[in-house]
Amino acid sequence: MLDALVDERLLRRTTGRWTEFKVCGSRWNTASGRGRDLIMERVVDLDQAAAVIAERAARWLEAGLTVGEVTWRDEAAPWSQQLETDRELVRDPDSVGVLISGPADAELSLVLFRGGWADVDFVAGLDDAGTLLAFGTQLDQWVPRVVGKISGK
């Protein structure tokens, strides 16, 4: 199963002077050698994702959490793109994000990219920030969720 996943997610095609890599919904064209040649496919509708966030925000607020404004990054903007909170200012969104804060300095930062992946950062408390123990705990939760139950030898 893992081999099939790798085959679907990483494809390489070479024609003439350039090589195209396709990884998780993105393409990298090496023809120009410039760093901004990453072309993100539109796997996720970010406007719909923002609506999903908005649907949940009231419940989070009722629970006493602080919900930041939804932020947008515009692929069409010159480098380095600034985050915008006004969707109307963003012509070609390539990410949408939100920051949610709770008690005891807990924070969850989530950025969803139109290519279908997300950056998720969190701190459950000051003792949780940057520790290998916290990282190990998350790995122990994420790996079985992705690949199923793991039986040890």
Q: Where are the alpha helices (DSSP H) in 39-150?
A: 46-62, 132-147
Q: What percent of the chain has pLDDT over 70?
A: 66
**Domain locations in the chain as residue ranges:** 2-40, 46-146
Local confidence band at 153 (pLDDT 50, 70, 90 cut-offs): low
Check residue 133 and give its pLDDT. 67
pLDDT tens, residue by residue, 114-147? 998 999 887 776 666 666 667 777 778 878 888 8
Report, as an integer, the average pLDDT of 80-108.
93
User: Who wins on pLDDT, 77 or 27?
Assistant: 77
Q: List the helix and strand counts (H, then E) for the chain.
A: 3, 10
**In the prediction, which pLDDT does 67 show?**
96
Taking the complete model, does pTM exceed 0.85, yes or no?
A: no
| Residues 134 and 124: beta-carbon distance below 8 Å | yes
Would you list the DSSP string of 24-67? TTEEEE-SS--TT-EEE---S-HHHHHHHHHHHHHHHHHTT-EE
Contact at 8 Å (CB) between 93 and 72? yes
Would you state the pLDDT for residue 1? Answer: 29
